[in-house]
Amino acid sequence: MIDLKAFRLKLLARRDELETLSNESKDTRKPVELDQQSVGRLSRQDALQQQAMANAQEARRINEQRKIDAALKRLDEGEYGYCAECGEPIAEKRLLIDLTASFCAGCAR
């Protein structure tokens, strides 16, 4: 039997970590201003590339936060740790690797 309380704490801690990372990266996701006087062409291209990478990271964080919220909902409904496809228990090792797993190894294929 898996320790649901421990998994809830891990999910909440990861969600908090993602929110912190999101807040810390706000400045790098801001639009890059077109100011040829203070920023040269190459510097602007670098800034645009950094902004694109920061936006991609934010999209991954948002996706992971959604998965965490769904896992927390399954916890509240008593469905966490059970496969959404076949209803069988998900192996604890699998949940330790991916806290948000909603399918057993067999159904995830």
For the stretch 69-102, pLDDT in tens is 999 999 999 999 999 999 999 999 999 999 999 9
Residue 8 phi, psi (nearest 5): -60, -45
- Residue 102, Cβ neighbours under 10 Å: how many? 19
Residue-level pLDDT at 94: 96
Encoding tokens for residue 68? 């965490």
The topology (CATH level 3) of 4-97 is Four Helix Bundle (Hemerythrin (Met), subunit A) (1.20.120)
Domain spans of the chain? 4-97
Distance between CA 25 and CA 7 in Å, rounded? 27
